[in-house]
Amino acid sequence: MCPTDHEPALGAGASPLETHSSANDTASEIKPLAITLPPPNKAPDKVFLGMAAGSGYIIVGLIALIAAFLLWQAIPSLSKNEANFLTSNAWTVNDTTLAFGIAGMLWTTVISSVIAMCLAVPIAVGVALLITHYSSKKVGRSVGFLVDLLAAVPSVVYGLWGARVFGPSIEPFSKFIQHYLGWIPLFKPSLSSSGTVFVASLVLAIMILPIVTSISRDVFNQTPREHIEAAYALGSTKWEMIKTSVIPYGRSGVTAAAMLGLGRALGETIAVMLILSTTNDTKIDFSIFAGGQTFAAKIANNAAEFDSAEKTGAYIAAGLVLFVLTFIVNALARMIAARGRAK
């Protein structure tokens, strides 16, 4: 084929370069379609923000009002108090004499709650690990359901059971501890049989067990799967995986759960009131095998004495201390939980 045969075809049609140029010109003439969107409606955002902020302000305002009310009612009685409010264990409140102190109530409230927390937390962590890592899903759901049922039992039932059944049944164990550890002031023998701080602490431990277990279970379930698989890849057993991955990850959550359980135990009223045997001794008994009264139980037991401003103010002053104590414990729990999330 001679070269002249191709000349008509090239002359008749456009060259590839010219075709590409014309295509570019056509594309440059096509302008993008301008879409005008309406301005966003920010009214719902503002309404929701106002509602959320208002709810927060209401809660803060209510707490401030409660604290102000307690302080306002307590100051007149505190000004007339003839005893040291913080160090005395005397409680003489009548129309002629105001001599009251919270030392004994503070000790009983704190020691019973701390013992309950120390007993409940290890059991709760073990149950949470059983549900999340050791048992099957069916067994885990059943165990979790049974633990959650403990939270549905009324406090008065715990109190009656502790006073009538549980306390007398563990009396031999209490005597055993007093016999061999009675030389320690905390375990000193006492005349009380079943209505002791020790029995109240055990019942409180059962009552706060669902709270600590539920929070610990949720925290352990959030352990990153990558951490667990990495531990298994390094040849760890299940216990070694839990020790190196699950427990370190959930440490702050478990600590926060323990503090929340402590706050719950500090404010328990009816169960402790039914279990503890009261004493009128002005000297503080530091033995957990003695009776006593917590802040909440003291106030509930003597509600009939709220017939004058001075006597009512004395009990409100004790309630103010309990309010501050519980607020501090719950604030610490929130701070620990927030620190754990930040990590």
Question: Quick one: what percent of the chain has pLDDT higher than 70?
Answer: 87
Query: Does the pLDDT value for residue 81 go beyond 60?
Result: yes
The pLDDT score that the predictor gives to residue 32 is 62
| Tens of pLDDT, residues 195-239 | 889 999 999 999 999 999 999 999 998 888 888 888 888 888 888
Written as six digits, the tokens of 227 are 């951490």
Residue range 45-66: mean pLDDT, rounded: 90
Does 9 score more than 60 pLDDT? no
Q: 135: which DSSP letter? A: S
- Average pLDDT in the 254-266 region? 89
**Amino acid identity, residue 190?**
S
Q: Residue 112: its pLDDT value, please? A: 93
Domain ranges for the chain: 59-342
Q: What is the DSSP string of 70-92?
A: HHHHHHHHHHT--S-TTT---EE
Q: Measured between alpha carbons, how far is 262 from 186 in angstroms, rounded to an integer?
A: 20
The helix (run of H) or strand (run of E) holding residue 98 is strand 98-100
Q: Which of 6-10, 29-33, 169-173, 256-260 shows the lowest mean pLDDT across its residues?
A: 6-10
Cβ atoms of 333 and 256 within 8 Å: the answer is yes
- Domain 59-342: which topology? MetI-like fold (1.10.3720)
pLDDT of residue 17: 46
Q: Please indicate whether residue 334 or residue 34 has the higher confidence score (pLDDT).
A: 334
Is residue 92 within a helix (H) or strand (E), and if so which, with residue range? strand 91-93
Average pLDDT over residues 87-106: 86
